[in-house]
Amino acid sequence: MEVEDFGHHISRRFNEDLEHVRNSVLKMGGLVEEQLDRALQALSQADSALGLQVAHDDYKVNELEVSIDEECSRILATRAPAAIDLRLVVAILKTITDLERIGDEAEKIGFLAARLASLEGSVNNYRELRNIARHVTVAVHRALDAFARLDSKLALDVVKADEDVDQEYEAIYRQSITFMMEDPRTISRVMDLTWSARALERIGDHAKNICEYVIYMVHGKDVRHIKLETIETKVVDRNAG
Amino acid sequence: MSKRWVRQLLGLSGWLLAALALGAWFGAVSWWLAAALAIWLGIVLCRLYDLDRALDDRKPLFITSDRGMWAELLARVERVKDKARYRKKKYHQLLREVYKSTGALRDAGIILNVQHEIQWFNAAANRLLGLESSRDVGQRIDNLIRNPEFVAYLDAAKDDVITIPSPKDTAGRLAVQIIPYSRNQRLAIFRDITHEFRLERTRRDFVANASHELRSPLTVIGGYLDAMLDDGSIPSVWHTPLAEMQRQVDRMTRIVRDLLELSRLESMEGHAGHEFVEVGAMLRAIHKEFAESGAGPKPALSLETDAALLGDESQLHSVFFNLINNAVRFTPDDGKVDIAWKATKGGVCFEVKDTGIGIPEELIPRVTERFFRVEPGRSRASGGTGLGLAIVKHALQRHGAKLEIESELAKGSVFRCHFPPDRIATRGGVRQAAAQ
């Protein structure tokens, strides 16, 4: 299926509109990635100023979401796109919602990082977040790559890898409970930590959603709430056919 | 017309004449003519077929017998083909060499067109950025390298170098430079500076930690020295050494303080904040401080504009204070120090002009290095730490401002700080700027 060819329209303006809105989504993605990176940096280096900065900068993500949303509505109203173009616009509308949520979670991590930095506590304790953080940043990065390249195979890989994130979260959750039972004085700190892990786990889910939209965009198949094996056969079938 | 063509024409006319004659003899002119033309046409078609094959075939076509013009034509086709084949081979070889050498480069090179679309890249681009030629040629580069700073840099089309986190590994760092080399093509070069970046950070951390660790022992020593100087039971022979010790401790405390400030400035990433800073009031306060202190020439202040800045208040204070302090220290008591705050064509400018000892021209680029002293003895005697201008440089950098130094030995120096227009605040613009 020819999916990369948005340049086939008679109207050049239409091509430009579609290209532009797609680029805006990736720009928003870049911003969200940076927000996430900085939030995690604030967390690992106990940098409360950076954490608050991240929380403050979330408005940029929101502004982009609103402007892309408007642009999509305009395209839908004036161009009445069909087939792949329609799928692209629909997928973009959904993708930006998830990106905005990732931005919100990053904001939350920023706040938590600022609070954790001001609390007494060993820096070592944030080390358990490192693994899940790495998984999640890679997932977001690869989801956006899949979006940019319209690469359904990569998207499928990210969907599969989300299970690792869930397991990591589970492990941190159990560990936190143990900590809190051992020493109730740590409860407020460990709670904040668990909330950060929770936010990361949510980000992983949003990255997975974005990948599902990519698969929808490329193959025209809705793969939400379906077993992984079924998705796989759908994607592989289309690739083979 | 060449001889061969003439011969060919003669042959055709002879052939037709013979057919005509024979036709007249047998009484069927049109039949004979038609047959002769058909045979001629057949021969021409055969030759055309040969020619077609000669143009088409990869192997050279052997011309077996001499057929006049046709043989010549085929031979010429062969020659042209040979030449083209040779040229192709040569270019191919050259291209392979170019690919090999660009492939051996350790820096990633990417050719971009006006729309930021990737047109070509070398092997290192795959290693550093994860690009793959089968799928990424034709993609917009800002779709794949999405770092906001890089995207802004791409659009701004400046020729400086920026540092971005590596897209493959957030701990890695890449230095990026974009060089336009024709009207619609640009070359982006990515260099892996992770190692240098880590070294630099280690060095910075070391300086910060060392300074921090030095501070508390110094406080203790200073405290005891104070107590001993106040103590009347200490023999008077020790008074001078003790006073000297206290002076040195003060100096060391100042150095440690400056080092800490410098390392704090260095460790801050990105640009300074956007607080509203009332420069006029700040300069008046600093000016008053120097005017009231006993030592050195009295500086003169002229506020030609009431522009305020958007920036970091304490950093700007340390810029102005250090520059004025330098001017006062290096100017004799009967000299002049003029401080000015004025609007210029491209922004606002803070200027300190003195009639002091000046800096030799060849040393001007080095004065902002830390611990660099033009005249070591003099600077130390006047109480400098050797870090003032380094702090000034870093603080200005974070504000996007430029430091300009003019100096003439024994006549005096001028230090100018040029602030860009996006740092200037007007009263009405405060709210808007603060929201950004």
Read off the pLDDT band of B433 (50, 70, 90): very low
Question: Around Cβ B77, how many Cβ atoms within 10 Å?
Answer: 17
**Residue A26 and residue B147: Cβ atoms within 8 Å?**
no
Q: How confident is the model over B83-87, as a mean pLDDT? A: 91
**Residue A37 and residue B167: Cβ atoms within 8 Å?**
no
Question: Around Cβ B405, how many Cβ atoms within 10 Å?
Answer: 14
Q: How far apart are CA B132 and CA A149, in angstroms?
A: 11
Read off the pLDDT band of B378 (50, 70, 90): low
**Residue A148 and residue B143: Cβ atoms within 8 Å?**
yes
Given a cut of 70, is residue A240 above it in pLDDT? no
pLDDT for residue B230: 86
pLDDT for residue B300: 87
**Residue A27 and residue B148: Cβ atoms within 8 Å?**
yes
Which of B170, B264, B267 would you mutate first to test chain A, the one with the most A CBs within 10 A?
A: B170
B329 and B365 belong to one structural domain: yes
Q: Which of B115, B95, B212 is nearest to B155 (CA)?
A: B115
Q: Tens digit of pLDDT for each residue in B6-45?
A: 888 888 899 889 988 988 888 888 888 899 899 989 988 9
Q: How confident is the model over A171-200, as a mean pLDDT? A: 88
Give the percent of chain B with pLDDT over 90: 8
- The whole-angstrom distance between A136's CA and the closest CA on chain B is 12
Exposure of B163 by Cβ count < 10 A (0-12 exposed, 13-18 middle, 19+ buried)? middle
Q: Which of B279, B357, B375, B363 is nearest to B321 (CA)?
A: B279
Last residue of one domain, picked from the residues B267, B290, B311: B267
B141 and B207 belong to one structural domain: no
- Measured between CA atoms, the residue of chain B closest to residue A40 is B170
**What ranges in chain A are assigned the alpha helix state H?**
12-44, 48-79, 83-118, 128-149, 152-182, 187-219, 228-240
Q: Tens digit of pLDDT for each residue in A94-144?
A: 999 999 999 999 999 999 988 888 876 655 557 778 888 889 999 999 999
B339 and B379 belong to one structural domain: yes
Given a cut of 60, is residue B432 above it in pLDDT? no
Checking DSSP bridges between strand B402-408 and strand B412-419, what pairing results, if any? antiparallel
Three-class SS of residue B425?
strand
B238 and B380 belong to one structural domain: no
- Measured between CA atoms, the residue of chain A closest to residue B144 is A145
**Residue B60 and residue B78 in contact, taking contact as beta carbons nearer than 8 Å:** yes
Edge-to-edge order in the sheet of strand B173-182:
B118-121, B108-113, B185-192, B173-182, B162-165
Which of A4, A23, A137, A210 would you mutate first to test chain B, the one with the most B CBs within 10 A?
A: A23
Adjacent-strand bridge partners of B344: B347
- Phi-psi region for residue B292, left (φ > 0), alpha (ψ -120 to 50) or beta? alpha
Given a cut of 50, is residue A1 above it in pLDDT? no
When CB atoms are compared, the residue of B143, B151, B165 closest to A37 is B165
Most confident of A198-207, B124-133, B259-268, B408-417: A198-207
**Residue B135 and residue A151: Cβ atoms within 8 Å?**
yes
pLDDT for residue B382: 66
B153 and B83 belong to one structural domain: no
Length of chain B: 436
Structure tokens at A65: 């979401």
Q: Which of B340, B327, B267, B341 is nearest to B297 (CA)?
A: B327
Structure tokens at A21: 């809105």
How high is the mean pLDDT of chain B?
Answer: 84
**Residue A55 and residue A114 in contact, taking contact as beta carbons nearer than 8 Å:** yes
Question: Around Cβ B98, how many Cβ atoms within 10 Å?
Answer: 11
A153 close to B (CB below 8 A): no
Q: Tens digit of pLDDT for each residue in A8-33?
A: 566 677 788 888 898 899 999 999 99
Exposure of B432 by Cβ count < 10 A (0-12 exposed, 13-18 middle, 19+ buried)? exposed
Adjacent-strand bridge partners of B404: B416
Running DSSP on this structure, what letter comes out for residue A10? S
B216 and B279 belong to one structural domain: no
**Residue B146 and residue A37: Cβ atoms within 8 Å?**
no
Backbone φ and ψ of B369, nearest 5°: -70, 150
Given a cut of 70, is residue B70 above it in pLDDT? yes
Q: How confident is the model over A215-227, as a mean pLDDT? A: 80
Last residue of one domain, picked from the residues B70, B100, B130: B100
Given a cut of 80, is residue A5 above it in pLDDT? no
- The whole-angstrom distance between A150's CA and the closest CA on chain B is 10
When CB atoms are compared, the residue of A30, A137, A145 closest to B147 is A30
Which of A54, A57, A60, A145 would you mutate first to test chain B, the one with the most B CBs within 10 A?
A: A145
When CB atoms are compared, the residue of A26, A141, A151 closest to B143 is A26
Read off the pLDDT band of B368 (50, 70, 90): confident
* C-alpha to C-alpha distances, B194 to B110, B309, B393, nearest whole angstrom: 20, 35, 24
pLDDT for residue A229: 73
Exposure of B228 by Cβ count < 10 A (0-12 exposed, 13-18 middle, 19+ buried)? middle
pLDDT for residue A93: 92
Given a cut of 50, is residue B434 above it in pLDDT? no
Last residue of one domain, picked from the residues B267, B283, B309: B267
CATH number at residue B118: 3.30.450.20
Q: Name the packing angle between helices B194-230 and B239-267 (round to 10°).
A: 150
Backbone φ and ψ of A111, nearest 5°: -60, -45
**Residue A137 and residue B140: Cβ atoms within 8 Å?**
no
B290 and B409 belong to one structural domain: yes
pLDDT for residue A28: 92
When CB atoms are compared, the residue of A23, A141, A145 closest to B140 is A23
Q: How far apart are CA B323 and CA B386, in angstroms?
A: 13
Q: How far apart are CA A219 and CA A228, in angstroms?
A: 16
Given a cut of 70, is residue B84 above it in pLDDT? yes
Of A234-238, B113-117, B182-186, B199-203, where does mean pLDDT reach its minimum?
A234-238
Of A155-159, B55-59, B321-325, where does mean pLDDT reach its minimum?
B55-59
Adjacent-strand bridge partners of B165: B173
- The total domain count for chain B is 4
CB < 8 Å to A137, chain B: 170
Q: How confident is the model over B102-120, as a mean pLDDT? A: 87
Three-class SS of residue B405?
strand
**Residue B394 and residue B266 in contact, taking contact as beta carbons nearer than 8 Å:** yes
Q: Tens digit of pLDDT for each residue in B324-366?
A: 888 888 888 888 888 999 888 888 899 999 888 888 888 888 8
- The whole-angstrom distance between B313's CA and the closest CA on chain A is 17
B9 and B91 belong to one structural domain: yes
B214 and B313 belong to one structural domain: no
Three-class SS of residue A71?
helix
- CATH superfamily, domain A12-240, is Phosphate transport system protein phou homolog 2; domain 2 (1.20.58.220)
**Residue A34 and residue B136: Cβ atoms within 8 Å?**
no
pLDDT for residue A211: 92
Q: How far apart are CA B25 and CA B254, in angstroms?
A: 128
When CB atoms are compared, the residue of B139, B147, B148 closest to A148 is B139
Checking DSSP bridges between strand B300-303 and strand B337-344, what pairing results, if any? parallel
Which of B131, B141, B143, B144 would you mutate first to test chain A, the one with the most A CBs within 10 A?
A: B143
CB < 8 Å to B162, chain A: none
Q: DSSP letters along A32-61, please?
A: HHHHHHHHHHHHHTT-HHHHHHHHHHHHHH
Tell me the residue range of the domain where B40 lies: 3-100
pLDDT for residue A187: 86
Q: How confident is the model over B44-69, as a mean pLDDT? A: 71
Question: Around Cβ B222, how many Cβ atoms within 10 Å?
Answer: 16
Read off the pLDDT band of B63 (50, 70, 90): low
Q: Tens digit of pLDDT for each residue in B143-199?
A: 888 888 888 888 887 778 888 888 877 778 899 988 888 888 888 899 999 899 889
Which of B116, B146, B150, B151 would you mutate first to test chain A, the one with the most A CBs within 10 A?
A: B146
CB < 8 Å to B139, chain A: 148-149
- Measured between CA atoms, the residue of chain B closest to residue A33 is B147
B302 and B431 belong to one structural domain: yes
When CB atoms are compared, the residue of B139, B146, B170 closest to A29 is B146
pLDDT for residue A80: 81
CATH number at residue B223: 1.10.287
**Residue B142 and residue A23: Cβ atoms within 8 Å?**
yes
Q: Quick one: which H or E segment has residue B406?
A: strand B402-408
